[in-house]
């Protein structure tokens, strides 16, 4: 199960900050994240009987869609099309995770529960910390995104050559993704405008998926 890259931030976006309350932006971001998780869950149900090869193709397809969203311009970051793109990639990632989730449900349900619980605790804790910190952490978004991209690239190469998952690599991806949750929520409070809603939702969603996959790998390797 390859993890996924963080979309590029909107730090250089020229649209400026519109006069919308932080509470409103937070609500919109989390609504999109919630719906994306719903599409992810739907994908895992629909894709539970997929072959490993087909599931891997779906995972790489989701990764490709994330890269397009990162470098494809404002069309993939703002507006209805960008929202649809987020939901489509969430569904595709879910299809890729389907066989693995089905396996853990049947054979190691405790691992699945622990990974889900650990993900929820991490997201709530880091999100709350990022939202309450007074310091602006926006400058850390790009370095952390690059770091997780490198780690994800290494994990994908290991997967392709059949080297298996590395607990250390999973731990690195977990830690960096947790820090990205913190930075994203801090950015949401300090800088976010209406034009940032979709890419922030995408970033938070991707970090949640990476945290879950990392914990699943860590708990199953014990």
Q: What is the pLDDT of residues 188-209, one digit of tens each?
A: 988 888 889 999 999 999 999 9
Q: Is the pLDDT of residue 6 over 80?
A: no
Answer whether residue 59 is part of any domain: yes
User: Where on the phi/psi map is residue 9: left (φ > 0), alpha (ψ -120 to 50), or beta?
Assistant: beta
Residue with tokens 């708990």: 219
pLDDT band of 14, cuts 50, 70, 90: very low
Structural domains in the chain (count): 1
Answer whether residue 178 is part of any domain: yes
Look at residue 45 in the predicted model and tell me its pLDDT.
96
Q: Which domain range does residue 35 map to?
A: 22-220
Answer whether residue 172 is part of any domain: yes
pLDDT band of 69, cuts 50, 70, 90: confident
Question: pLDDT tens, 134-166?
Answer: 888 888 888 888 887 777 766 665 555 445 567
Q: What is the 3-state secondary structure (H, E, C) of 88-126?
A: HHHHHHHHHHHHHHHHHHHHCHHHHHHHHHHHHHHHHHH
Answer whether residue 166 is part of any domain: yes
Answer whether residue 188 is part of any domain: yes
Answer whether residue 7 is part of any domain: no
Q: What is the mean pLDDT of the chain?
A: 85
Answer whether residue 63 is part of any domain: yes
Answer whether residue 14 is part of any domain: no
Q: Provide the 8-state DSSP code for 4.
A: -
């Amino acid at each position: 199960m390859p993890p996924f890259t963080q979309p590029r931030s909107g730090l250089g976006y020229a649209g400026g900050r519109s006069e919308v309350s932080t509470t409103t932006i937070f609500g919109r971001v989390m609504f999109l994240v919630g719906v994306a998780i719903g599409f992810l869950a739907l994908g895992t149900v629909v894709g539970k009987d997929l072959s490993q090869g087909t599931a891997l193709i779906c995972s790489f397809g989701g990764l490709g869609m994330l890269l397009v969203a990162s470098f494809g311009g404002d069309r993939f970051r703002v507006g209805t099309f960008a929202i649809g793109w987020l939901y489509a990639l969430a569904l595709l990632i879910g299809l890729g995770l389907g066989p693995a989730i089905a396996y853990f449900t049947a054979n190691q349900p405790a691992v699945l529960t622990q990974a889900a619980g650990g993900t929820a605790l991490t997201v709530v804790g880091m999100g709350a910390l990022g939202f309450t910190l007074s310091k602006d952490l926006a400058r850390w978004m790009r370095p952390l995104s690059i770091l997780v991209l490198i780690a994800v690239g290494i994990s994908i190469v290991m997967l392709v050559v059949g080297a298996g998952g590395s607990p250390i690599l999973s731990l690195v991806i977990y830690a960096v993704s947790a820090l990205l949750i913190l930075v994203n929520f801090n950015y949401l409070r300090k800088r976010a405008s209406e034009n940032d809603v979709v890419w922030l939702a995408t970033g938070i969603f991707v970090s949640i998926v990476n945290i879950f996959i990392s914990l699943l790998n860590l708990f199953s390797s014990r």
